[in-house]
Structures are given as structure tokens and as C-alpha cells.
Structure 1
Amino acid sequence: MTPPQPTRQRSGLLILALCFVTIVFDGYDLVVYGSTVPTLIAYEGWDLDTGSAGLIGSLALVGMLLGTLSVGLVTDRFGRRRIMIGSIAWFSLCMLATAFAPNEVVFGFLRFLTGIGLGGVVPTCIALTVEFAPKHRRQISNAVMFSGYSVGGVSAALLAIALLPETDFRVLYALGALPLITLLPIVVRYLPESVSYLAATGREDEARDVAARHGLVYDDIVAPVPAAAAVDTAPPVSSMRELFTPRWRRSTVLFAAANFCGLLLVYGLNTWLPQIMRSAGFALGSSLAFLLVLNLGAIVGAISASFIADRIGVQKVVTASFLLACVAIFLISLNLPAGLLFLLVAVAGLGSVGTQILVGGFCATHYPQKLGATALAWSLGIGRIGAICGPLLGGLIAGWAMGYQVNFYAFAVVAVAGALVVGSIRTQNRQDPIGSPKSPATISPTASTQTG
């Protein structure tokens, strides 16, 4: 009789890579709108001005709000794998349909539907990345994964620079459907289910097998149930309700506010930066180049900042990044040389997109594993209100003709507010997934500086 072969171990890098590519398309599908705003406003046959363009920019984010909050409610029932697969298929099909929109009304509605699919991606990717990453590398793993958003933004800007002078904007939206034939089959084949979800639904053997396959310590993710809990007949508290218990209520509210500020900056700048710079006298190509530099700065800055966060604590780094964004955004409003403006835009990319990446990682490591996905979905869902406000705010200011500088003043104020909110989150030693206190020796350096 042939002895059973040992299970081949897979690296958590596989999950990181799949989530990274998913977020690349998420970033592309959102930033492509900002790349095409100047073209859409000038498009013959469509009646778009700055106000209506801002409204359409917000529709996708309204959809993301609904999608993200819905994920928070159904994750415990359907699991993260099925949500990821369904979300990718949804937003890809909607992007393909958007490419054939006959008018601005249908175009806006399809952007809303696209946002619903995109809303399910972000919290799921963060939760999976953090769960399958080594404990001492969670912030850098999350930052590398989430930098895919800026890679998608860079791709959107580069393709817009290359294609818009010669082709219709519809081509850029059609490219957003590529996950249907490139990414989705790979995700279906290789993405595992969450260990914490499998354990929570009574599939402990399968959960242990997935953990072993990916080199994870099962008890680090799902702590063993102590004897006292085993005989406890009290009904379990749902993840959403537990977020608002006295232990977590303050953090839950503050993380939602931090995401509000961060996402307002991300989508306000990514939607309006090209048009704002055109108002400042730059040509279309140069204006799109500012969008490119914004997202390049986010990639470099977020990964660099995450290294520091894993060593000194993510809360300090996020607070400092928000303040850095305030300074850079304010200075962009001044009449400075083009080279210096590009440098400041790159710094603003760190302080806006990069900071939002770190906020997501902060939230994911702040809570026990069993609450992580729901906490992310909740805070990102409420934060989407800020994302909705970003494009609307830019459109309103442009419509008031108060000068392009006012956009930057408003965004700088939001960055200060973000720093104050993050600095107000209380820190204390975290408890493990079932609530048993860990000794200081068993808490990772990252977790101990970020939680409570």
C-alpha cells in the first residue's frame, strides 16, 4: 500500500498576487473615469458640464458604498472566496457594458452598477491578504497588495495619454473587462477559502488543511475554544453587533471617519486632478501626467511607509502621512515651477492614496480575525460617503468658478481632519480572535502598536 503523499505547501504569496491583480483592475476601473473627464465634457452629443461630470464620478462610488456594506452583511454567510469571484465577474461585465453606453444617462447608471461589484473587492482582498500573510509582515503585505490600486491608476493614465488622442474613450472602458478572460479563471482555480470562515462555519478539518497548505499556524488565526466557552450556552453575537460593543465602538466609529477622509482625498484627486491642472493652464497630456505621478507617488510612498509602520506602529505613520498630504496639497495651489509641482503631486499621492492603503491595513490588524472582514466592510462602506463627496466637491468648486486653488485648500483641510481622527484611536493590547488576552510576548510588534 502506497503511503499518503505529504500535502504540497503553497505560499501565501499566491493569495497576495491574486488580490494584487484584482486591485489593479479595481484601481483601473475607478481612475479611468478621471482620465476621461476632460474628454467626456468635450464629447459631442453628450450634455456634460463640470457639475454633471462630478455627479457621474460619484455614482460609481455610491455603488461601491452599497457593495461594500452588502459584503459586510453577507461575508459570514457566503465566505470570502465566493464574494471575490462574484465581484470580479460583476464589475467586469459592467465595464464592458459601459463601453457601449449610448448616452450620458446610461453611462452614469452603468458606472453605478460597476461600483457595486468594485465595492465587494477591497474589504475581501484586505482581509484575505492579512489572514494569509506572516504575522510580522501584515502591513507590508497589505501595502504591496493595495499598491495595485495605484498600478491600475498608472495604467489608466498611461493608456489615456497613449490612446485618447487617436481613439474613442470607449476603448479605455472596454479594457476594464479584461478580468473576465485573464483573472477570473485563475481566481476560480487557485483562490482558497478563508481559514477563519471555514472554522466559523464548522468546517474545522478543511480549515486546518487550508492553513497547513499555506504554511499558517491554525491557532494564530482561530484560537482554540477554552473549556469555559465550550459550555457557554449564551447565543453568539454577530460580527456587526460586536463591532458596536463597548470594547470596539470607539474604534469602529473612528475608522469609519478615517476612511471618510482618506477616500475623499483619493477619489477627489483622482477624479479632478487632470481637469484642475488644465484649468491651471496645462495641456491635456501634461494634466494626465500629473495623474500618473500621483499614483506613482502612492506606490513608492505606501510601500516605504509600510516598512516603517511594521517597525514603529502604523498609527504614527498614518497620522504623519495625512499631515504630509496637507502640506503637499496646499503647496500645489501655489504658482510653482512645473518640476516642483510634479514632486509635490507625488508626495500628495503618498498622503492620499498611500495613506488610505495604510488605513485599511491598520483596521485589518486592529480587530481580531473573526471581526476583520466585517470591520473593514463597515468602515470602508461608511468611508465611501467620503469617496462620493470627493468628486462632487470638486465639481461644485469648479462650477462656482472660485479658482482652481480652492480645490486644493478644501482637500488640505480634509487631510488635517484625517490626521486628527487617526490620532484619536486608542491603543491597547489586542485580544485574540475569541477574546482571550495574549501575553505581550505573543503579540506581534505590528499588532501591539496598532490595536485597541
Structure 2
Amino acid sequence: MRTNTTRATGPAAHPASRSARFVIALCWVAVLLDGFDLVVLGTVNPALLDYAAWNVDAGSLTVISTAGLVGMTLGALAIGSLTDVLGRRRTLIFSVTAFSVLTLACAFATSPEMLGVLRFLAGLGLGGALPTALAIVAEFAPAKKGSASTTVMTGYHVGAVATALLALMLLESVGWRWMFVAGTLPAFVLVPLMVRYLPESPAYLAVRGRHDEAERIAAAYGLPPVTASSPQSEARAADTETTRSPASPVRVLFSPQLVRTSVSIWVTSFMGLLLVYGLNTWLPTIMREAGYDLGASLSLLLVLNAGAVVGLLVAGRVADRVGARTAGLVWFTLAALFLATLSIRLPYGVYVLVFLAGCFVFSSQVLVYAFTSAVYPHEARATALGWSAGVGRVGAICGPILGGALLQAGIAYPWGFYAFAAVGVLGALALAASRPVR
């Protein structure tokens, strides 16, 4: 049934021609805020260990980190799935608003327990923001899903780099609480811009039967016409009859032709996010165990995420040429190699090794998202991304736990890097078990 309603479609109902690049830019900033959250605990953990008023240890910080990641897991699974039902625009605005307000509240935590609760609640919004933003990007840049996904994910690591820089400027001068204040300031600009300028996805509108709006938005943003389902072009390996129904997108993930790939993606995402969160949470502390001072440890965190930005830009172009699955296999393998080399104690060469590890570790996980965007039809894409991110967040929980356990055992250096390298190998093997997109 067609309808001419313009409710909840945002600015794209206007007839003026618009650029999809601005939509991607809004998603990029949303992902940047997620990137802040990625490393903020890693930067403040050394300061919290020295914060006499709370008297916390590595075990307490692991619990706080885990609380936020549990929230992200639940948010990714629940909100990611609801995105295919409620719409991309509404879900992203809600998610960004929720996690920004709750992250700001972390600055006023009066105890470690309160900080853990706030991190859990903020995690619910954070978990839904990333898969929703990636779904929007894939649908507003349909011809280059690989490079579009990796480009928008540079925001993740630009946010991480900015957080490391903020830590160098703020931690010793004004204290850890101001890290949470500074990190949420961009949201006060982003949310009003999204309310005013972020359109609804034409793919989502077409699936929900709102064809007139879908056609109008697609024309305004220079996108090809969108049909309610195109399994041959969007998911050549998918079962046609199963993927035609927009009523239960979760069923698409378990269809006979996709279930093997779904499980492969979940295992790979688990390994990828274990690496991402394990390294960003504990790298500064592990490097202090290796004999580096706090300033050098924070600088290495900055270098790690600077390498991630470069790696993402390269990985996207490679994925557009050879496919996200093939690129991901190469990237996970090289990530394992360079993580193992970090066990070598070098006075200056360590910066080069950390940079190279960052190039491959973080873009490996983003290539999993790019592969997910390519293999599932648009009526289940956000759900697939949400499940990939949600199951991956379980790995994100295990990453800080693994690093914390190794630290408490006194063997984080060098055995932490050997353990992370093994995780990279397992990620490559899991991705190899998936079915390639034909």
C-alpha cells in the first residue's frame, strides 16, 4: 500500500537535491562519539588506580569496563533489531542522545559502583548507535559498501585519537572527570543537526510499504530506486522466499543459505572486538608494566588509533576491489603477526609496531561489518549488523577481562600480546568458514 505521508522522514521530504555525503558525515560524527567511549576508560584507568578517594584496583576497573560492555551487547542486539522495525533515523537520534547524556553523568559519579551503573546504561545507547549508523551508510552509498563502511568507521578511531589527546591535556591538569565532560560536548551540536537534516533510509521505507517517500528521498539524494526486496543483488547467497518477508528480519539470519555465514560472522566479530577493546582498555597499563612511563603509554594508545585510521582508509579500497571477506582474511592474519611482534622490547621501534598493529587490528573488525552489509538484504541489514555487533560485544567484554587477568597475574607483558595474536588467528579462521558473496 502506498502512502504520501511524510511523518518521521526528516528533511529529505523537501524537493531540493541533497548530497548523501552529508548523511554519511552525520553518521561519521555519531561513530566518532562511539570512538570516544572506546578508549575513555583506557585513558582514565591509570588515574582511577591512583584516585585515593575510591581505592580501586584492576579487578574493580575490569568490573566497570564489563558493565559498560554488557550494556552495549544488549543495546546492539535489541536496538539493532528494532532499527529494521522503527526506522534508522529515529533509532540513531535516540541512541546518540541517550548515551551522550549518560556518559556526561559519569563525570558526577560518586563511587565506583555508580560509575559502573552509568557505564551500563550508557552502553545500551552505544550498542544501538553503531549498527544503525552502519546500516544508514550502506544504504546511502550502495555502490561502495566496503569503502563507505571503513570511511565512516574512521570516525571511531578519530574519536579514539582525540580522546588520547584529551587525556594528555586534561588528566594531570584537571582530573579524570573532565574527560567525560569534554567527550560529550560534540553531541550538543550533533543531535540538533540530525533532527534537522538526517533523512530516513529509502530502503527501510520501501520495505515498510512507504514507496512514495522512498522514491522521493532516493531521487533527492541521487540514489538508485529501491524495491522492497532485492535478494539477488543484495544477498546472492540468500534464500529468496525467506528474505522477502520484512516482518521478521531475525529469521533471515537463520535461513538455510545464510545460517553458516551468520555464525561465522558472529565468531569473527567476537574475536575482532575482543582485540579492539582489550587493547584499547589495557594497552597503556600493559606498557607501564613493560617499563614505559604514563606519557609514553598514552602516546602509544594515540599511535595505535592513528594507525587504525590509516588502516581503515586502505582496507576500504582493498575491500571494494577484492571483496570484504578476502580483505578481512588478510587483515586478521597481519593483525596477529604484528601483535606478536609487540612482545619485542624496543625503545623507539615500538611506535612503528604499534602503528602497524593498529592498521590491521581495527580495520579487520570493520571489514566484518562491511561483509555483513554486503551479504544480507536491506530488510534485515540493520538486524544483521546489530547481531554482529552484539555478539561481538561479548568478545569486547572478554577482552578487558583477559587483559585484567593477565595484569593481575603479573604476566601481561609479554604474554598479553601472544594471547591477542592467537585471537587474531582464530578470527581469520572463523571468517574463512563463511560463504563468499557470489
Q: Normalization by structure 1: what TM-score?
A: 0.89
Identify which of 332, 335, 345 aligns with 2:354.
345
Match of 1:354 in 2: 363
Identify which of 35, 39, 49 aligns with 1:31.
39
Q: Cα–Cα, structure 1 residues 163 and 333, in superposed 2: closer, same or farther, change >3 Å?
A: same
- Aligned-partner Cα distance in 2 for 1:394–1:236: 41
Superimposed CA distance per residue, residues 366-406 of structure 1 (whole angstroms, 9 cap, x where no aligned partner): 11112211111111111110000001111111111124211
Superimposed CA distance per residue, residues 225-283 of structure 1 (whole angstroms, 9 cap, x where no aligned partner): 9xxxxxx9x98661101210101100111111111000000000000000000111111
Match of 2:314 in 1: 304
- Aligned-partner Cα distance in 2 for 1:71–1:273: 30
Question: Contact between 2:206 and 2:228, CA under 8 Å: does it hold in 1?
Answer: no
The CA RMSD measured in Å over matched residues stands at 1.9
Alignment of 1:313-332 (within 5 A): 313-332=323-342
Aligned AA (1:406): W
**Residue 217 of structure 1 aligns to a residue in which SS?**
coil
Q: Cα–Cα, structure 1 residues 223 and 354, in superposed 2: closer, same or farther, change >3 Å?
A: closer
Residue 171, structure 1, aligned to residue 178, structure 2: yes
Q: Cα–Cα, structure 1 residues 253 and 166, in superposed 2: closer, same or farther, change >3 Å?
A: same
Residue 208, structure 1, aligned to residue 215, structure 2: yes
Identify which of 155, 158, 165 aligns with 1:158.
165
The alignment-based identity, stated in percent, is: 45
- Aligned-partner Cα distance in 1 for 2:357–2:424: 10
Residue 389, structure 1, aligned to residue 398, structure 2: yes
Question: Contact between 1:324 and 1:347, CA under 8 Å: does it hold in 2?
Answer: no
- Aligned-partner Cα distance in 1 for 2:369–2:15: 33
Q: Cα–Cα, structure 1 residues 46 and 139, in superposed 2: closer, same or farther, change >3 Å?
A: same
Where does structure 2 lack aligned partners over 5 or more consecutive residues? 1-13, 233-241
Aligned AA (2:198): L
Residue 242, structure 1, aligned to residue 249, structure 2: no
Residue 84, structure 1, aligned to residue 92, structure 2: yes
- Aligned-partner Cα distance in 1 for 2:306–2:186: 23
- Aligned-partner Cα distance in 2 for 1:77–1:314: 27
Aligned-residue offset at 1:224: 11
- Aligned-partner Cα distance in 1 for 2:106–2:85: 31
Question: Contact between 1:159 and 1:172, CA under 8 Å: does it hold in 2?
Answer: yes
- Aligned-partner Cα distance in 2 for 1:170–1:7: 46
Match of 1:185 in 2: 192
- Aligned-partner Cα distance in 2 for 1:315–1:235: 26
Aligned AA (2:420): F
Residue 334, structure 1, aligned to residue 344, structure 2: yes
The count of corresponding residues between Structure 1 and Structure 2 is 415
Greater alpha carbon shift after TM alignment, 77-86 vs 288-297: 77-86
Match of 1:412 in 2: 421
Question: Contact between 2:208 and 2:246, CA under 8 Å: does it hold in 1?
Answer: no
Superimposed CA distance per residue, residues 53-77 of structure 1 (whole angstroms, 9 cap, x where no aligned partner): 1221121111100100111332233
Alignment of 1:409-448 (within 5 A): 409-429=418-438
Greater alpha carbon shift after TM alignment, 143-152 vs 360-369: 360-369
- Aligned-partner Cα distance in 2 for 1:36–1:367: 38
Moved over 4 A (4+): 220-225, 234-237
- Aligned-partner Cα distance in 1 for 2:59–2:175: 22
Match of 2:269 in 1: 259
- Aligned-partner Cα distance in 1 for 2:127–2:167: 24
- Aligned-partner Cα distance in 2 for 1:182–1:236: 34
- Aligned-partner Cα distance in 2 for 1:82–1:278: 43
Aligned-residue offset at 1:348: 1.1
Aligned-residue offset at 1:10: 1.0
Match of 1:71 in 2: 79
Match of 2:8 in 1: none
Question: Contact between 1:31 and 1:153, CA under 8 Å: does it hold in 2?
Answer: yes
- Aligned-partner Cα distance in 2 for 1:373–1:343: 36
Aligned-residue offset at 1:223: 4.5
- Aligned-partner Cα distance in 2 for 1:180–1:21: 9
**Residue 102 of structure 1 aligns to a residue in which SS?**
coil
Aligned-residue offset at 1:198: 1.0
Residue 10, structure 1, aligned to residue 18, structure 2: yes
Residue 364, structure 1, aligned to residue 384, structure 2: no
Aligned AA (2:261): S
Superimposed CA distance per residue, residues 327-361 of structure 1 (whole angstroms, 9 cap, x where no aligned partner): 111111122x2321111111111222121111111
Aligned AA (1:139): G
Match of 2:236 in 1: none
